[in-house]
Amino acid sequence: MTTAMGILPHGDANKALELALSVDIPFWPQLPKVSFYEDMYVQISEHFPGISLDMEGQAIAFSLEGFYGELEAYLSHWEEESFFRLSPRYSAVYHKFLEQDLSAFPHIRGQSIGPVSFGLKILDEKKRPMIYQEEVRQLIFDFVARKVGAQYREMEALHPGAFVWVDEPGLEMVFMAFTGYTGERALEDYRTFLENYPGPKGVHLCGNPDWSFLLQLDLDVLSIDVLARGHIFTRYSGEIKAFLDRGGIISWGITPTLTEEYQAESAASMIGKLEEMWRYLEGKGIPYEKILSQAWLAPARCCLINADGIKTVENSFALLKRVSDHFKARLA
């Protein structure tokens, strides 16, 4: 089946929804070109103590003093699920998605920025990532789990096949030498986070983390950019086999969304790249049919920078369907 990352370059919410509903597993799109509130870091920040938004400068700030000053008021809403829902102000597009007739789809998907990326991206007054503060870090993981839970239950009320995955571009940074947040600490935090994660558990990222870190987690779906990272990812064949043996699904991000890359590819070349990766894994002891039956396909990554606006991204979705149809015929 096909799905896609959440961020789209559209300035028109209705056109973005039309594209998001064109895949087998539709999603609600995040549209930062529509409003700063549609930015994924802004969306997760709603009600987090100490966070302030500069709408004119399109910046997010965190104050440790503000965190402690607002913490008591925040904790007074601790058990109120409605407090953690994504409000119409912070995503009009999400609420438009919930108004659609989604009954014909096998699954529907939501998304949120993940706790590691949120904590590493937002800086305090001293320009330090807020995840470096012990008490703040502990709250981040619980807060994101509650936000994911509220979104999941709101979507599940409309569709029994709903799930939410978290975007984690920041996980790549955890394994770099300069970070003050280590992989060992992140692994412990993430295991606890997933224990509080409702419904099917998924992580999406376009970067190049330590793949063994992700493949050992209790995940149901792992969504990755294999167009750029597949030659590295597939070398973790033992971990991939164990992940698939547990029933995990890999969403293989394959069709390019950057104009220059898109112009250099075709359905045949995309099929060839997937075949090469999957046959390599088959040679490492993973049955080809198992790989295929537990594979979803997606565009390789989000892209907001093309000179042609939305054209290349929409072409990538169309190319994705052609590639997917080829492999669906193999399973028929």
Query: Maximum distance among all alpha carbons in the chain?
Result: 59
Mean pLDDT of all residues in 205-219: 92
Q: What is the pLDDT of residue 178?
A: 64
Mean pLDDT of all residues in 172-193: 83
H or E stretch at 108: strand 108-113
Bridge-partner residues for 123, per DSSP?
129
What is the pLDDT of the chain when averaged over all its residues?
95
pLDDT in tens, 217-228: 999 999 999 999
pLDDT in tens, 152-182: 999 999 999 999 999 999 888 887 756 678 8
2: pLDDT strictly greater than 90:
yes
Note if the pTM is more than 0.75: yes
Mean pLDDT of all residues in 239-267: 97
Distance of alpha carbon 306 from alpha carbon 10, whole angstroms: 11
Mean pLDDT of all residues in 286-299: 97
pLDDT in tens, 5-43: 999 999 999 999 999 999 999 999 999 999 999 999 999
Distance of alpha carbon 323 from alpha carbon 227, whole angstroms: 13
The residue behind tokens 């052609």 is 322
53 class by beta-carbon count within 10 Å (0-12 exposed, 13-18 middle, 19+ buried): middle
Indicate if the alpha-carbon torsion angle 216, 220, 225, 230 is positive or negative. positive
Which residues, at least 6 apart from 45, have a Cβ–Cβ distance to it below 8 Å? 51, 53, 60, 118, 122
Q: What is the pLDDT of residue 175?
A: 72
Which residues, at least 6 apart from 246, have a Cβ–Cβ distance to it below 8 Å? none
pLDDT in tens, 127-137: 999 999 999 99
Q: What is the pLDDT of residue 184?
A: 86
> Could you give the residue ranges of the DSSP H alpha helices within 56-133?
64-75, 92-98, 115-121
Q: Are 33 and 9 in contact (CB under 8 A)?
A: yes
Q: Are 46 and 82 in contact (CB under 8 A)?
A: no
Distance of alpha carbon 318 from alpha carbon 136, whole angstroms: 43
Q: What is the pLDDT of residue 183?
A: 83
Q: What is the pLDDT of residue 172?
A: 87
Mean pLDDT of all residues in 269-288: 97
Tell me which CATH code domain 13-30+96-115+130-331 carries: 3.20.20.210
Q: What is the pLDDT of residue 322?
A: 97
Percent of the chain with pLDDT over 90: 92
pLDDT in tens, 45-99: 999 999 999 999 999 999 999 999 999 999 999 999 999 999 999 998 999 999 9
> Could you give the residue ranges of the DSSP H alpha helices within 99-165?
115-121, 134-156
Q: What is the pLDDT of residue 211?
A: 93
